[in-house]
Structure 1
Amino acid sequence: MTTAPPDESPTRKPPRGVVLLRPVPGTSTIHDLWAGTKLLAVLAISVLLTFSPGWITIGLVAALVLTAARLAHIPRGALPNVPRWLWLLLALGGVSAALAGGHPVIGVAGTSIGLGGLLNFLRITALSIVLLGLGAMVSWTTNVAEIAPAVASLGRPLRLVRIPIDEWAVTVALALRAFPMLIDEFRVLYAARRLRPKRVADSRRARRRRRAMEVVDLLTAALTVTLRRADEMGDAITARGGIGQISATPSRPKPADWLALSITVAVCIAAIVFDVPPVRP
């Protein structure tokens, strides 16, 4: 009696999902920085890219992000897989932007082709990637519990004008903590919904009605799970001494934080100096 040979076809690896608000395990110089330093760096770079979104600025910020990722020992496995439909969407957007023309103009086979629209599209795409990488670096190297004390410390001057900065810090901390938890809950709900048997629809109207009912059921279940999780989190916060304990943890910058802020300011100044367009006579 012979047995069939094993299937030698390579198994398809499951796609890597997006890891949000979960720090990469390990210690490094970037991990040990104060959370307020990272927030200030993100704020400064965001303002810089808003008012000076040039190629030089994007390149300098990208080099800064890559250097930080190198120092933080971020593995390649932390990067999510890019779906194919996103590449197709980017290609479609690039072709559509190329039709707008604009300077610079090149000649191909006696035809003038303007590359201004395509270059603008590529610049906006690179800008989006850099901003996503900047946010991902903060997510991968910062514990969520450190965000609220950092926000409370940075917003301390606002208490003079009676702004409830402590309550804002607690709200931000609770939202950041609940976000990954709710994503996992929604994935479980969606998987359980797919396992339920579906009724065979006889017409398009019945199929549309079934899809609408599925959406309503998922939203209702999601709201129920969210309220249950909120009630459990409220009981846990009350048992641990109230919301004041969340933002009361002492957090101060260290010498390494001042060095990191100095490097960030130097990059911003260099970007402003070198990315200024030349004055035309």
Structure 2
Amino acid sequence: MTAPSRNQQRRPVVLLRPVPGRTVIHDLWAGTKLVVVAAIGVFLTFYPGWVPIGAVAVLVFITARSAHIPRGVLPSIPRWLWFLLILGGVTAALAGGSPVIELFGVDLGLGGLLKFLRITALSIVLLALGGMVSWTTNVAEIAPAVAKLGRPLRFFRIPVDDWAVTLALALRAFPMLVDEFRILYAARSLRPRPVLTTRRARRRRWAFEVVDLIAAAVIVALRRADEMGDAITARGGAGQISAAPSGPKLRDWVALSIVFAICGAALALELTVLGTS
């Protein structure tokens, strides 16, 4: 048997691991990227029209090209997801609504289908926006940025530094745990499976395997947490994670100005020239 070709192999999801390179997007302050994501998220929540979605999609595409993001970071889309999208589109099309077109003497309402397509496009744009932050930002830069952005909240005695450290540790642990779970799943698939003749025995065997996987996952997580705790203690404690100096520079203000200008222009077009959706 021949090995599967490169195009046939499924690409896993690559998150929380920056793409190697030195570009303007990589050099932006992590807080700037977080502010942009939050602002665009709020913007698209209140104005989820086609023009804002298209403007943000173009912005994400230009940013990806500027950051030299390769196509290999995009995961393979499973077939069942395509099936769910088609099923959702067909179901939404049955709702009808304006606009209405005439096809072979039958009036077809495209309102439901257009709304489904808009929601799908909005989800894809938001996922791509979050992926851009993940592919261009070092995890170690997140905690200092969150601590600096949340500095005004210290007036209300909110433990911003503790929250930033917790977020940083969670982001650091997520890729490691994903790799460990993949190893556990691969080891489970290599175990010989007993031949079970009854359906009840197969259900019991499946339940036992689930319990074994959960127990192994908990043990791996505890071991990783212990190792990370020792490493943090050796480097001066958890306070050093959020104490690194960080802040915006001139390029960050320029980037924020460009993003807000694009969002403002898209909003103006949506509300005036093209009308509200």
TM bin (shorter chain): over 0.9
How far has the Cα of 1:102 moved from its partner? Answer: 0.5
Give per-residue Cα distances to partners, 1:212-270, cap 9 Å, x unaligned.
11111100100110011111111111111111100000001110000000011112211
- What residue in structure 2 maps to residue 169 of structure 1? 164
CA distance, structure 2, for counterparts of residue 139 and residue 123 of structure 1: 24
- What residue in structure 2 maps to residue 59 of structure 1? 54
Give per-residue Cα distances to partners, 1:128-182, cap 9 Å, x unaligned.
0000100000000000000000000100111111000000000000000000000
Paired residues for 1:64-213 under 5 Å = 64-213=59-208
For residue 53 of structure 2, give the secondary structure of its aligned residue in structure 1: helix
- What residue in structure 2 maps to residue 12 of structure 1? 5
- What residue in structure 2 maps to residue 219 of structure 1? 214
CA distance, structure 2, for counterparts of residue 96 and residue 146 of structure 1: 44
CA distance, structure 1, for counterparts of residue 197 and residue 79 of structure 2: 33
For residue 26 of structure 1, give the secondary structure of its aligned residue in structure 2: coil
* Matched AA of 2:203: R
For residue 276 of structure 1, give the secondary structure of its aligned residue in structure 2: helix
Q: Which runs of 5 or more structure 1 residues have no equivalent in the other structure?
A: 1-6
CA distance, structure 1, for counterparts of residue 76 and residue 22 of structure 2: 25
CA distance, structure 2, for counterparts of residue 215 and residue 178 of structure 1: 22
How far has the Cα of 1:271 moved from its partner? Answer: 2.3
How far has the Cα of 1:12 moved from its partner? Answer: 2.8
CA distance, structure 2, for counterparts of residue 151 and residue 85 of structure 1: 37
* Matched AA of 1:66: F
How far has the Cα of 1:196 moved from its partner? Answer: 1.1
Give the aligned CA root-mean-square deviation in angstroms. Answer: 1.3
* Matched AA of 1:178: A
How far has the Cα of 1:10 moved from its partner? Answer: 7.5
CA distance, structure 1, for counterparts of residue 104 and residue 70 of structure 2: 46
Greater Cα offset, 59-68 or 77-86: 77-86
Give the paired residue count. 272
* Matched AA of 2:31: G
* Matched AA of 2:224: R
* Matched AA of 2:5: R
How far has the Cα of 1:84 moved from its partner? Answer: 1.4
- What residue in structure 1 maps to residue 233 of structure 2? 238
CA distance, structure 1, for counterparts of residue 3 and residue 117 of structure 2: 35
2:30 aligned with 1:35: yes
Structure with higher Rg: it is 1
CA distance, structure 2, for counterparts of residue 11 and residue 97 of structure 1: 37
CA distance, structure 2, for counterparts of residue 271 and residue 45 of structure 1: 12
For residue 31 of structure 1, give the secondary structure of its aligned residue in structure 2: helix
Q: Percent identity?
A: 70
The one of 235, 250, 258 aligned to 1:255 = 250
Give per-residue Cα distances to partners, 1:50-100, cap 9 Å, x unaligned.
110000000000000001001001011111111111111111111111111
2:18 aligned with 1:23: yes
CA distance, structure 1, for counterparts of residue 41 and residue 266 of structure 2: 13
CA distance, structure 2, for counterparts of residue 114 and residue 65 of structure 1: 32
How far has the Cα of 1:118 moved from its partner? Answer: 0.5
TM-score relative to the length of structure 2: 0.96
